Amino acid sequence: MSNLIPHDATHLNALASALGAALLARGWLLATAESCTGGGIAAAVTEIAGSSGWFERGFVTYSNEAKQELLGVSAQTLARVGAVSEETAAEMVAGALRGSKASIAVSVTGIAGPGGASPGKPVGTVCFAYALSTGAPLTRRLVFAGDRAEVRAQTVATALLGLLALTEGREVPTTR
């Protein structure tokens, strides 16, 4: 399991502010595609005054049907590897870019708990995908410790950290 990463409101606000400044400096827009966080990433970035200058839209696709209808995730992918997979996250982020005017996007899909675990996918498993409109998705699979709220908050923080790294041309971290 990954270490518990800072995910309090102050830390999330600082990450979102830094991300917004980096996106504004590049003239980029952001889109999000979220499942297990239920819009938490979009909420964190829109907490920042002026975010309308760099946040384009967010997709909350909690159900498999929503992932298919709104983001174009294939039924075959969902049947083969499930909703919580790097492949699904990659299709989600590609769909967010297709369905928006964004230059950069992130997607998250995971098991926040307390139930939902399956063999090889314990509670706390979250798959991330990051992509620029000009490139292929970069995926990560992490397992967070903590209860449902902690898993979701750590997922939001990790998504913001990864977006900031990608925006700044740094390697997207595999752990924090």
Q: How far apart are CA 25 and CA 51, in angstroms?
A: 13
Does the pTM of the predicted model rise above 0.85?
yes
In the chain, the domains with their CATH numbers are 9-86+106-114+126-135+147-167 (3.90.950.20)
Beta carbons within 8 Å of 165's beta carbon, 6+ residues apart: 171, 172, 173
Q: Give CB contacts under 8 A, 24+ apart, made by 43-52.
A: 44/12, 44/13, 44/15, 44/16, 44/156, 44/160, 45/16, 45/19, 45/20, 45/160, 47/12, 47/13, 47/16, 48/13, 48/16, 48/17, 48/20, 50/20, 51/16, 51/20
Q: State pLDDT tens for residues 31-51.
A: 999 999 999 999 999 999 999
Q: State pLDDT tens for residues 59-105.
A: 999 999 999 999 999 999 999 999 999 999 999 999 999 999 999 99
pLDDT over 80 at 6, yes or no: no
pLDDT over 50 at 1, yes or no: no
